[in-house]
Each structure stands twice: as C-alpha cells, then as structure tokens.
Amino acid sequence: MENSKFQQMIDDFTLDSDAIKEIAASFRYDIDAGVRETGESSLRMLKSYIGLPTGNEKGEYLALDFGGTNLRVVLIRLEGNGKFEVIKKVAKPLVKPGEYDFICADANADELFDFIADMVEEAVDGDHDKKYLLGHTFSFPSAQTNIYNARLIIWTKEFATKGVEGEVVNDLLKAALARKNLSNVEPTAVINDTVAVLLAAAYKLGNVNVGSIYATGHNTCYYETYTSAGLGKPAMVINMESGGFNKLAINKYDYKLDLESEKPYEQRLEKMVSGRYMGELFAYCLDEAWGIGKVSFTSIDISRILADNSDTLNDVCALLKEKTNLDIETEDAVWVKALAETIASRSARVVVATYCGIMWHLYPNGGIPKQYIAVDGSVFEKMPTIKENMQKAIYEIMEDDADKLELVLENGGSALGAALAAAMEPVEG
Ligand code: GLC
C-alpha cells in the first residue's frame, strides 16, 4: 500500500491552529460586513424578526419541522418556566425508496405540501374545527420580511423539488391546508432550525446567544443587538446561513465534490463540514487511493470507522469489504481510520472557528461573558471525536476566554422552537 498517498490526503485535510484562527477572523469580518450591509459578506445574514423568549411563554401550538429527510408535525403545550409537553407527534420520511420521493427534481410543490397537510391532519386527529396556530421551522435560506413571510431563496442539502424556490413557503402550506379543509390550522411564524435551537435553549436554560445545527446540513444563528456595531436597529436573531461562507481554502476533494453537487459554488463551508458531505469526501479519497469508483459513504459509516478502537480494526476492514469489496489488512485500516479522523476533525475545527468569529463580533472589546452555545444535530450528538475536537479548537482559538463558552446539546429544539415562535411577539422593522 502506498502510505505516502494517504499521508498526502491527510495533510490536505489538516488545519493547524493558525489556519482555524484565520478562519475565525475572516468569518468575523464577514459578520461585521453583513451587519453593516457593505455588500462584501459571503454570509446571507437573514433577519428572523424574532428575539429571545422570556421562558414564560404558554399555550398549545402546532409545530412543523421541515428541514431534512424526516418531516415532523408536533402538538406542543408550553407551560412556562422553561417547561413544555409534547402532546402528539407525527413523523414521516420525505423519501421512501420505491414508493415516493418528494425532494427530487421530479416532485413538485403541491405534491410536497399536500403530503405535509396530510401529516398536519393526523397531528390534529382530523379536527377541522378547533383553531390551531402553527409555527414552522423551515430549514433553508429564506428571505423574510416579517415573521410569517419567508421566501425560499435557494434549496440546499441537495433538495430539488420544483416550484418552491422563490415562493413564500407558508403560502404554499396554507393553500395545501385549504385543499384539505384544514383552514382552522393557521401558519403564523416561520423560523430556521438554527433559530429554533436558539429559542429552545433560551427558553429552557437562558444565557445563550448562539444556536447551531451540525447535522446533514450546517448553519448557525445568533442574537444581534446591533450595539457592538453602533447601529440603532431593532435587536433580533440573525440566521447567518453560515454554510454559505466561502472565504476558505479548499482542497482538490472539496473542489470535486462542489462541481458534482446539485448547486456548484454554493454552500462552500457546509460542503466541508456537514454530515451530508463528509462521507463523500472520504469516498473520493479512497477512490484516489484504490480506484474503488463511485461508492457512497455516509457520515454514519464515518462514525462506525471512528468508533472502532480495537487493535486489529476489524470493523473498519469489514466496512470496507461491505462497501467496496476490498480486502484490507489492519495496516491499511490504520490509514483509513486516520483519514476519517482528519476529515471529521477538520469539520469540527472549522465549525468552532465560526462560533469564535461570532464571539469576537459580539464582544469586540473582550470581556466575553460566560454563556452556552446551543447545538443540535446528529454529527454533534453522535459522531465520535467531534465534541473533543470542538473543545480542543475552542481552547486553541479563544485561549484565556475558552472557559467562557460551553457547548450544549439542544436535542429536538426544532419543534419546541417553532411552537415558541408561534407564541412570541414578533420583532417589527
Ligand atoms: C442548510 C440550510 C440552512 C439550515 C442548515 C441546517 O445549511 O441552508 O438553512 O439551517 O442546512 O439544517
């Protein structure tokens, strides 16, 4: 086996302390430029028209969580004091191989939203009379003019359903509900999933300004008061669409992945870090090493490789056999695992660099107060090594301020956040 080939690939994915500090600094620059609307930022910096909850929101709300391949409609009762209860939950995949696929380019908006309306009907037990307010977590870049009106700018995460880009998603949902005689369900608020995570964590814990998703996709939002920028605008949560950050040096595997994706040149950062893409980067490397051709690896495969801590790495060998039919020995498996570790560690380090960039923007004169950074998503929650690598990167970048930041898992915040958004007074402006 040509070890030098693997060593080269590992080097290509390695980011040292200086490199992540530089990413943090240029990310901060783009936040500042975005807040000042100078036109130089690669971040979309989308206004959410919502602030942070008090923790005392109350009432029963429907929450629609639409952002990945699994769709959820949840009936939630907010009880105040950071407490809530899930009364009913309906969950269905948007793709069932051989049966249906609502996210491919052959599907259209009406089919997709009719499917969603059917799930809403199930969640309210077929009740066509009682009035329900619905909060919608819609996890794609949307241009908002108020809390209701969010227009999908562009699909991300390889979604391709026709007739949704450029549309006001709640109008599509409203029309589908009307087709099912469900006009008693009223969509009132749309938020991004990052915003949902932030609202949910603020409701339960308080002391949090940043919400982030680290899963199939990756993105972060934060509470912008406009004070550090000296601008007197109304404070609100900003969905940065940080996955679109593009001031990054990419390697040849990133380049190839980008060209072969649904949306080349878009979502540069997301394509380096998120669960949807890490397995693909890994597959390109194995193809270069062993000519395995187009084999698809997922982030679950990466997790499985990282979880094999045996001396013989039998499970890494077994996985390679299952996926590629290659018979590899422990000696090669060591390289395969080292490669997977480096791809995962690059991801964790870049994500943390963006969080540090936000802190530098919010506290330009230092004095960062102790606070949580709320994160949800399968990569953060389940991929081995990720949390340790993130913690290490926080220390490398923030140095003495590192102990001010605590990463906290906000599990399932999408539905709670949507309910909160329906319950809260929106921000005007
Ligand atoms: C993609 C979407 C973004 C979302 C993220 C996580 O980056 O563009 O809106 O927050 O995925 O689901």
- Residues paired with residue 372 on neighbouring β-strands, in sequence order: 208, 406
Residue 75 vs residues 59, 116, 304, 348, 424: alpha-carbon distances, Å: 11, 14, 35, 34, 16
Q: In angstroms, what is the span from residue 219 Cα to ligand 1's centroid?
A: 5
Q: In angstroms, what is the span from residue 220 Cα to ligand 1's centroid?
A: 8
Six-digit token string for 14: 């390695």
167 backbone dihedrals φ, ψ, rounded to 5°: -100, 160
Cβ atoms of 297 and 279 closer than 8 Å? yes
Give the pLDDT band (50/70/90) at residue 407: very high
How many percent of the chain have pLDDT more than 90? 95
Give the pLDDT band (50/70/90) at residue 429: confident
More confident of the two residues 5 and 1:
5
Mutate to test the pocket of ligand 1, among 48, 212, 218 (most ligand atoms within 8 A of CB): 218
Q: In angstroms, what is the span from residue 196 Cα to ligand 1's centroid?
A: 12
pLDDT tens track for 43-53: 999 999 999 99
Q: What's residue 229's pLDDT?
A: 79
Q: How far apart (Å, rounded) are the C-alpha atoms in residues 274 and 76?
A: 29
Q: What's residue 227's pLDDT?
A: 85
Q: What's residue 272's pLDDT?
A: 98
Q: How large is the angle between the packed helices 169-179 and 109-123, nearest 10 degrees?
A: 60
Q: What's residue 68's pLDDT?
A: 85
pLDDT tens track for 78-96: 999 999 999 999 999 999 9
Q: How far apart (Å, rounded) are the C-alpha atoms in residues 86 and 66?
A: 17
Q: What's residue 2's pLDDT?
A: 63
**H or E stretch including 151?**
strand 150-152
Q: In angstroms, what is the span from residue 214 Cα to ligand 1's centroid?
A: 9
Query: Residue 399: is its pLDDT beyond 90?
Result: yes
Query: Residue 402: is its pLDDT beyond 90?
Result: yes
Q: In angstroms, what is the span from residue 141 Cα to ligand 1's centroid?
A: 7
Average pLDDT over residues 315-319: 98
Six-digit token string for 134: 């619905």
Sheet with 185-191: strands ordered across:
83-93, 70-80, 58-66, 132-138, 185-191
Give the pLDDT band (50/70/90) at residue 1: low
Average pLDDT over residues 365-388: 97
Q: What's residue 208's pLDDT?
A: 98
Give the pLDDT band (50/70/90) at residue 4: confident
pLDDT tens track for 187-201: 999 999 999 999 999
pLDDT tens track for 217-244: 999 999 999 988 788 899 999 999 999 9
pLDDT tens track for 22-80: 999 999 999 999 999 999 999 999 999 999 999 999 999 999 999 988 999 999 999 99
Does the CB atom of residue 376 touch ligand 1 within 6 A? no
Q: In angstroms, what is the span from residue 30 Cα to ligand 1's centroid?
A: 18
Mean pLDDT (the chain) is: 96
Residue closest to 30 by CA, chosen among 42, 16, 39, 14: 42
Does the CB atom of residue 243 touch ligand 1 within 6 A? yes
Mutate to test the pocket of ligand 1, among 66, 139, 195 (most ligand atoms within 8 A of CB): 139
Look at ligand 1, atom 3, and give the residue with the nearest C-alpha: 140
Q: What's residue 353's pLDDT?
A: 98
Look at ligand 1, atom 4, and give the residue with the nearest C-alpha: 139
Strand 83-93 and strand 70-80: the pairing is antiparallel
pLDDT tens track for 361-375: 999 999 999 999 999
